[in-house]
């Protein structure tokens, strides 16, 4: 088999939770070109880092055409694959039929985007592709080019490898965010002993003035591979229930993940991560998180 395609519509955290599936498929088809159809920035991230050889945007018109009951014209995008795993539009009968017709030479299977059940979604997804005993291989590879770019950013703020803590104060949903002022207060406590670096994404543009006003270095809108490389160099990370927390944990960095409305048993970052869950999130005290950070640093030293 020469080409295998995985179709996945999720965000960053969802993709990192799918990592064990991607590595399991990679091992199943070691000689094939393994391709990921996803959001464009996630496809770029996955190439060479999650066992993926090529990325394809899920926003292409050929994908939209699969939802049309009377699709016209040949859809050549899916020709040439020998195997397709789709985690997209699983319950849409029109999409399913059109994808099977377009991928005429492929074995096509459909899998739930977030499989139901009490167990972690990564474990449930491995079961859905019939590889339940595969290792829970959640790691993302950090490439040399990513490390070089990250090193330049860190040097610009005087942060040395494994001598700084990185804070991720945002997420894809405001409901999942521990208050920004709490992150700033936490940074003030931790900065007495170690360097602090904040990292924000496009959704947290409104956070930047407050963080800079408090005097902390901030990196914003970095490419995801660079965020991964910075995380891999951190002594520890602290973040919300967010994609970047999953990404940081996947590099092997120890961390603290703050959860509110989501179920940590299903969606916690895999790796050396302690979850602090509290509802409402504003009820979580800064002192409690600072104590968890200090305990995590001590335990990481012993390991």
pLDDT in tens, 152-163: 999 999 999 999
The percent of residues above 70 in pLDDT, for the chain, comes to 97
Query: Residue 77 gets which letter from DSSP?
Result: G
Query: What is residue 302's predicted lDDT score, i.e. its pLDDT?
Result: 53
Query: Residue 190 gets which letter from DSSP?
Result: H
Q: Which domains does the chain have, with CATH numbers?
A: 3-128 (3.40.50.2000), 144-302 (3.40.50.2000)
Beta strand spans in 206-266 (E): 218-220, 236-240, 255-259
Who has greater pLDDT, 172 or 1? 172
How crowded is the C-beta side of 274, counted as CA atoms within 13 Å? 17
**Comparing C-alpha atoms, which of 84, 277, 166, 150 is closest to residue 269?**
277
Go through 229-256 and write b for each residue having 16 or more CB atoms within 10 A of its CB, e for each that does not.
bbbbbbbbbbbbbbbbbbbbbbbebbbb
Query: Can you give the pTM of this predicted structure?
Result: 0.95
Query: Residue 179 gets which letter from DSSP?
Result: P
Reported as a pLDDT band with limits 50, 70 and 90, residue 284 is very high
Checking if the pLDDT of 131 tops 90, the result is no
Angle of CA points 112, 45, 109, to nearest 5°: 25
Go through 257-268 and write b for each residue having 16 or more CB atoms within 10 A of its CB, e for each that does not.
bbbbebeeebbb
Query: What is residue 74's predicted lDDT score, i.e. its pLDDT?
Result: 64
Rounded Cα gap, residues 157 and 245, in angstroms: 22
Phi, psi of 31 (to 5 degrees): -95, -5
* Edge-to-edge strands, sheet with 255-259: 218-220, 195-200, 164-168, 236-240, 255-259, 273-277
């Amino acid at each position: 088999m020469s080409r295998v395609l995985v179709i996945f519509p999720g965000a960053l955290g969802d993709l990192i939770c799918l990592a064990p599936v991607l590595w399991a498929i990679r091992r199943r088809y070691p000689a094939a070109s393994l391709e990921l159809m996803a959001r464009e920035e996630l496809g770029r991230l996955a190439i060479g880092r999650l066992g993926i050889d090529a990325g394809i945007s899920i926003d292409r018109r050929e994908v939209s055409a699969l939802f049309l009951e009377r699709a016209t014209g040949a859809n050549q995008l899916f020709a040439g694959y020998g195997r397709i795993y789709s985690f997209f539009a699983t319950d849409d009968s029109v999409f399913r039929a059109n994808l099977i017709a377009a991928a005429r030479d492929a074995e096509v299977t459909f899998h739930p985007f977030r499989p139901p059940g009490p167990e972690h979604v990564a474990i449930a997804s491995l079961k859905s592709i019939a590889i339940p005993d595969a290792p829970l291989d959640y790691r993302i590879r950090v490439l040399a080019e990513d490390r070089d770019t990250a090193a330049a950013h860190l040097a610009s703020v005087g942060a040395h490898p494994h001598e700084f803590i990185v804070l991720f104060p945002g997420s894809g949903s405001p409901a999942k965010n521990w208050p920004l002022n709490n992150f700033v207060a936490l940074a003030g406590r931790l900065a007495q002993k170690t360097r602090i670096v904040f990292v924000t994404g496009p959704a947290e543009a409104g956070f930047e003035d407050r963080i800079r006003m408090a005097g902390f270095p901030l990196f914003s809108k970095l490419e995801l591979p660079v965020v991964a490389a910075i995380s891999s160099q951190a002594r520890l990370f602290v973040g919300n229930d967010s994609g970047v927390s999953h990404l940081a944990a996947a590099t092997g960095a120890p961390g603290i993940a703050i959860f509110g409305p989501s179920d940590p048993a299903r969606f916690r970052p895999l790796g050396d991560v302690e979850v602090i869950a509290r509802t409402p999130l504003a009820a979580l005290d800064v002192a409690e998180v600072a104590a968890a950070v200090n305990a995590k640093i001590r335990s990481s030293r012993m390991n």
